[in-house]
């Protein structure tokens, strides 16, 4: 359940929603439509989004082995998928529990932070090319969340 | 050149199998708890755990620790089978093909989601033939009788010995060397071949702490002799 809507549903048990709450409800409904649209773009263009990212990654880390780069790439493809669902649900906890908690130790052990950081940056750049500003604002907090969790606060960039 | 379309063949990108909101399912109508594959789960209330300790102590006296250890062995055998089945099916590869870090992450998440506490595995004494498991927030330690003077997580010790015996293919024994119920910050368990790890129990009775016992075990077993 969408947490923002859920709180309004509980409120409606007590009385009819008031003007301010109705405004909030409409805002969430409109936002949900935008989230859905953004989700569809990310889903339908998954390969188009990531192929240039992969090409630029290979260029940047020409000396690294292909399986290593593939593994990191797959990880960020998963991050975008789970982030897209978290955006749809407007629920950062979904991303945290279903994926990031699982990946955090793995990233630390694999010691490929520089590749991960580059990938995150390339993905953010690519999303700027593919999404409208409005759409990017919806998904960006979740990508930032992933970067922050996996790479630490210092990896965040504007 | 990496072809992303090839990377996405099969289209599955599994995440955290043991994520609590996905793994634990409850049905209010039937009052059943199930995991995400539909297997039944049982909740152990604190009162029941306390009653098990008290009842066994009354019925079996000094043998209660052995009884609990053997219960843990049974639990561990079944737990290993289920763990392997579930993890292999979800990640679509045998446990043996998983990286150590992935296996460990599965164990940690599994332990936490089942409410058994926080699990850590220390493999730095592997060359000496020992594995050290650290558990914190154990429900078994919390429910242990307050007047206990020895470690109380015999069920977990049995579980770990059966689990790691099946995992490694060698019969491993497990001795608990520190316990939250005795004021330690966590529960320490040392696993190894029975004849090598058994002296730990005697050193524990003499009052030595976990670090000293581990040092003694390692110095009596040179690296590489495992």
The model's pLDDT over A57-88, given as tens digits with 9 standing for 90+, comes to 999 999 999 999 999 999 999 999 999 999 99
- Supply the pLDDT for residue B63: 93
Q: Report all structural domains of chain B as residue ranges with CATH numbers, in order of start.
A: 4-220 (3.30.1380.20)
Q: Give the chain B residue nearest A93 (alpha carbons).
A: B21
What integer pLDDT is reported at residue A9 of this predicted model? 81
Under an 8 A CB cutoff, do A46 and B8 touch? yes
The model's pTM:
0.88
Could you read off the pLDDT of A112-131 as tens digits, one per residue?
A: 888 999 999 999 999 999 99
Q: What percent of chain A has pLDDT over 90?
A: 70
Return the number of CB contacts < 8 Å for A and B: 65
Distance CA A79, CA A92 (A): 12
| A55, A57, A77 ranked by CB distance to B8: nearest | A77
Q: What's the pLDDT at A156?
A: 46
Give the integer Cα–Cα distance in Å for A80 and A139.
Answer: 9
Considering its fold, how many domains does chain A have in total?
A: 1
Q: Mean of the pLDDT values across residues A34-40?
A: 96
Q: What is d(CA A81, CA B120) in angstroms, rounded to the nearest whole number?
A: 29
Chain A nearest C-alpha distance from B104 (Å):
9
Strands B25-27 and B32-34: what pairing? antiparallel
Reported ipTM: the value is: 0.84
Q: How far apart are CA B40 and CA B57, in angstroms?
A: 29
Helix (H, G, I), strand (E, B) or coil at A79: helix
Residue A100 in this model has a pLDDT that exceeds 70: yes
For residue A54, the chain B residue with the least C-alpha distance is B2
Residue A16 is given by DSSP the state P
Q: Check residue B226 and give its pLDDT.
A: 52
* Contact (CB<8Å) A74/B102: no
Q: How far is B15 from chain A (nearest CA, A)?
A: 5
So what's the pLDDT on residue B223? Answer: 61
Q: How confident is the model at residue A1 (pLDDT cuts 50, 70, 90)?
A: low
- What integer pLDDT is reported at residue A112 of this predicted model? 82
Please tell me the distance in Å from B98's CA to the nearest CA on chain A.
Answer: 12
- Could you give the C-alpha distances from B72 to A30, B107, B122, B160, B203, in angstroms and in order? 54, 17, 21, 8, 23
Determine, for residues A51 and B109 on separate chains, whether the beta-carbon distance falls below 8 Å: no
Question: Which residue among A46, A51, A106 sits closest to B102, beta carbon to beta carbon?
Answer: A106
Whole-number percent of chain A with pLDDT over 70: 96
Predicted confidence pLDDT, tens digits, chain B (226 residues): 889 999 888 778 999 999 999 999 988 888 899 999 999 999 999 999 999 999 999 999 889 999 999 999 999 999 999 999 999 999 999 998 998 899 999 999 999 999 999 999 999 999 999 999 999 999 999 999 888 788 999 999 999 999 999 999 999 999 999 999 999 999 999 999 999 999 999 999 999 999 999 999 999 866 655 5
Which domain, by its residues, includes A104? 3-155
CATH, residue A13: 1.10.490.20
- CA angle B192/B197/B200 to nearest 5° reads 140
Chain B residues within 8 A (CB-CB) of chain A? 1-5, 7-8, 13, 15-16, 19-22, 99, 101-102, 104-105, 108-109
DSSP code string of chain B: ---HHHHTTT------TT-HHHH-EEETTTTEEE-TTS-EE----HHHHHHHHHHHHHHHGGGHHHHHHHHHHHHHHHHHHHHHHHHHHHHTS-GGGS-HHHHHHHHHHHHHHTTS-EEEEE-TTGGGT-EEEEEES-HHHHHS-TT--S---HHHHHHHHHHHHHHHTS-EEEEEEE-GGGT-SSEEEEEEEHHHHTHHHHHHHTT--HHHHHHHHHHHS-TT--
pLDDT at residue B28, rounded to an integer = 82
């Amino acid at each position: 359940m969408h947490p923002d809507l859920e709180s309004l549903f509980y409120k409606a048990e007590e009385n009819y929603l008031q003007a301010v709450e109705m405004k909030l409800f409409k805002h969430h409904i409109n936002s949900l439509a935008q989230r859905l649209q953004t989700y569809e773009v990310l889903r339908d263009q998954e390969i188009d989004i990531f192929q240039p990212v992969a090409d630029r990654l290979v260029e940047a880390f020409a000396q690294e082995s292909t399986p290593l780069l593939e593994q990191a790439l797959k990880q960020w493809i998963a991050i975008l998928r789970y982030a897209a669902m978290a955006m749809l649900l407007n629920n950062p906890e979904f991303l945290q529990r279903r994926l990031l908690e699982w990946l955090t130790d793995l990233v630390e052990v694999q010691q490929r932070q520089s590749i991960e950081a580059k990938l995150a940056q390339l993905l953010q750049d690519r999303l700027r090319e593919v999404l409208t500003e409005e759409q990017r604002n919806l998904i960006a907090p979740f990508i930032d969340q992933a970067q922050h969790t996996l790479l630490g606060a210092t990896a965040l960039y504007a | 050149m990496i072809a992303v379309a090839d990377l996405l063949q099969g289209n599955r990108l599994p995440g955290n199998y043991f994520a609590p909101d996905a793994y634990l399912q409850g049905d209010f109508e039937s009052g059943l708890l199930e995991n995400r594959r539909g297997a039944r789960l049982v909740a152990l209330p604190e009162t029941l755990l306390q009653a098990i300790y008290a009842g066994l102590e009354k019925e079996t006296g000094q043998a209660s620790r052995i009884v609990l250890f053997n219960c843990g062995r049974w639990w561990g055998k079944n737990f290993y089978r289920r763990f392997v089945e579930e993890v292999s099916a979800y990640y679509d590869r045998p446990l043996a093909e998983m990286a150590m870090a992935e296996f460990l992450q599965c164990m940690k998440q599994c332990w936490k989601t089942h409410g058994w506490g926080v699990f850590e595995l220390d493999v730095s004494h592997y060359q000496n033939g020992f594995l050290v498991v650290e558990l914190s927030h154990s429900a078994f330690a919390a429910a242990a009788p307050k007047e206990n003077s020895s470690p109380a997580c015999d069920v977990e010790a049995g579980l770990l010995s059966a689990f790691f015996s099946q995992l490694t293919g060698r019969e491993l024994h497990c001795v608990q060397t520190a316990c939250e119920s005795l004021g330690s910050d966590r529960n320490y368990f040392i696993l190894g071949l029975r004849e090598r790890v058994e002296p730990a129990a005697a050193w524990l009775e003499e009052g030595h702490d976990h670090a000293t016992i581990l040092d003694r075990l390692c110095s009596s077993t040179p690296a590489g002799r495992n």
